[in-house]
Structure formats: C-alpha cells, structure tokens
C-alpha cells in the first residue's frame, strides 16, 4: 500500500483511507455483514486511515467502528470529529466549539471507540460564536494529556486555518474535494501547501455520483441523505449526468471503473492530499483502491479538468441550511 504523511509531522497513512459514515448510515441502511466485510478487506489491503465522527448516527458509527476494530488497533490511524451536534431526532443540532465542551466530547468518543488515544481529532464544524484560538487551545490540551495525537479542522476558511495553526500545528484539514467540487483549489490548497498541512478529501467521488452507477435519483433508498442534496434533485441531476461522458470514456480506455479514474485524478493533484472515499461494499472498495495503480497523463488530467470546471456542477453541494454551517 502506498502511503502519505498527514502534514509536516503528522502520521503516515495509506494513500487512500476509508470514510466510515456509510458503514452504518447516511446512504440507507447497509447490512452489518457487508460493512464488516468491507472493513476486513480494507485492513487486509493495507488501508490504515479510518475516518468517523461523533455526529455520524449520533455516536453509533464510532461505537460500530470501535467494536469492529477491537483487537487490531496496531498500525491503524483512527480519526474522529466533534462539534457538529445532532438533535433528538438525529438531525442537525448546531455547533459547539466551547473549550469546556471539547474534553467532554473527546472522552465520549474515546469510550465509544474503545481506545485510549484518538490519532487525529478534528473540529467537525467551526463554531462562529467561539474564537478558534479558544477551541484549538482546548484541543491542544488533549494532546498534552495524551488523549489525542494530532489535530485537524473540517470545512474551515483560510483565516481560521492560519489562526488555528498558530495555536497548535494542524496535521490535516478535511474538506469536500473531487472533480465535482473543486472550490478548495482557489485558496485552501495553496494555504495548506504553504503551512505544511495535508488535505483529507472527503466525498472524493461526489457522494457516489462520479462512480457513474446512479442513473436516477429516484432509485435512492428512503433514508439516503442525497435525497436532500441539491445536486441530486431531478433537474440538476440530469444536467450533472452530462458531465460524466469524458470520465466514463477514460475509464473504458483504462479498463477501469469511473471511480478509479476520479480518485486517481485526486491523488495526482498533490502528494499532500489523502482521499477518504466511503463505501460499505467490498467491490466498491476494490475499485477505489485500483486508483493507486493508475497514472493519468497530463492530457487526460486536462481533459477531466476541462469537463469539470469549477462551478460546472448544477446545484449547491449542500442544502442551504447545512451550507451555512460551513466555516468558509
């Protein structure tokens, strides 16, 4: 397995990690046997970075991951997040970056995961009511206490990243990044390169869109969160489907799945990027890891970038209420 380092002094991880949300929820209700088989195969193939959050299933995802990885912690890098709250019904419940809340959230995650130390701890959403220096200061105290090894932020803007990094070095910033969502290229990627921080790219397949298998959003399961996302609304989805032709043609030329080509592109953008595609299916995991074997030519990359110009996707990448929570 190829590896990459998260930040200047962060942990070395597999060049492709596993986003764990879909193992328990988010895209319908997967069979537990499928989720466990995918985790087993990921470990067998050398995947070492596993990404979860206390927001996923209101903690249930952490508990599932902790139980599934019990007894095989060695060599794995477990990342989780805090501060993106859920209400009693499991929906968005605001954000919390207060310094007194940070250790409470950490202790709860440690219990659910069944571990003594979180390898990479992110603030999941920036709290606009709390100076980032105060939140990261509390996170830094977790490092001093040995409860956390490395720190990160999710969906943070350039000024916030710079100010946070001055308090305690960040190893990673996590944001959505794919052919379909290239917003990070304008300011975030250059800043991370300057500061020596890795980009952990979530949804590097556009929530499955770039895999090309979904032909009609009406096929989505009733509990699939994509039903709420503007890019998957019927009119927008039909327009977005037309973007896929060059990607699918390249996939055919390489004898690979579109997902493999889309991830290969992300990997070739910078050695400082680690994508964390999520899946609960072994076949999809294998297609994702195939990206490590594919070397796109400059011409092929240019073709994809011309087809997926920034702003070319129809619809916002989040529903408006959730988009407002991003600290960008």
Instruction: Give the active site residues.
Output: 56
CA distance 90 to 324: 18
Residue matched to tokens 């390489």: 254
β-sheet bridge partners, residue 153: 123, 173
CA distance 212 to 69: 31
CA distance 248 to 262: 10
CA distance 265 to 305: 9
**Which pair of tokens denotes residue 252?**
């055919």
Three-state DSSP state, 119: strand
Q: Read off φ and ψ for residue 248, nearest 5 degrees.
A: -65, -35
One-character DSSP codes across 170-229: -SEEEEE-BTTB-GGGTTHHHHHHHHT-EEEEESTTTTTGGG-----GGGS-TTBGGGGS
CB 226 within 8 A of CB 217: yes
Roughly how many angstroms between the first and final C-alpha of the chain, as a whole number? 33
User: By CB neighbour count within 10 A (0-12 exposed, 13-18 middle, 19+ buried), where does 134 fall?
Assistant: middle
Stretch (H or E) spanning 79? strand 77-82
Per the document, the length of the chain is: 328
Helix axes 258-269, 298-307, angle to 10 degrees: 100
């Amino acid at each position: 397995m190829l590896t990459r380092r998260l930040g200047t002094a962060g942990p070395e991880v597999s060049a492709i990690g596993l986003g764990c949300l879909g193992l328990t929820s988010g895209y319908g209700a997967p069979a537990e046997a499928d989720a466990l088989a995918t985790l087993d195969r990921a470990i067998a193939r050398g995947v070492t970075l596993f990404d979860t959050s206390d927001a996923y299933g209101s903690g249930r995802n952490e508990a599932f991951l902790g139980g599934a990885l019990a007894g095989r912690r060695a060599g794995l890098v477990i990342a989780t997040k805090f501060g993106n709250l859920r209400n009693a019904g499991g929906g968005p419940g605001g954000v919390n970056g207060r310094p007194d809340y940070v250790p409470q959230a950490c202790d709860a995650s440690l219990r659910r995961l069944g571990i003594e130390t979180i390898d990479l701890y992110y603030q999941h959403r920036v709290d606009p009511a709390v100076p980032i220096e105060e939140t990261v200061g509390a996170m830094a105290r977790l490092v001093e206490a040995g409860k956390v090894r490395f720190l990160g932020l999710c969906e943070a803007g350039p000024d916030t990243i710079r100010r946070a990094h001055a308090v305690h070095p960040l190893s990673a910033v996590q944001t959505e990044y794919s052919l379909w969502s290239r917003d990070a290229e304008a300011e975030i990627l250059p800043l991370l390169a300057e500061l020596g921080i890795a980009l952990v790219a979530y949804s590097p397949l556009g929530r499955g869109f770039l895999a090309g298998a979904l032909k009609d959003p009406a096929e989505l399961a009733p509990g699939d969160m994509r039903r709420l996302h503007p890019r998957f609304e019927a009119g927008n989805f039909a327009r977005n489907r037309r973007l896929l032709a060059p990607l699918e043609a390249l996939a055919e030329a390489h004898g690979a799945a579109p997902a493999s080509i889309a991830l290969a592109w992300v990997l070739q953008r910078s050695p400082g990027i680690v994508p964390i595609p999520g899946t609960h299916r072994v076949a999809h995991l294998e297609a994702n890891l195939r990206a490590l074997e594919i070397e796109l030519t400059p011409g092929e990359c240019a073709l994809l970038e011309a087809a997926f110009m920034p702003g070319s996707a129809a619809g916002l990448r989040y529903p408006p209420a959730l988009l407002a929570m991003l600290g960008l």
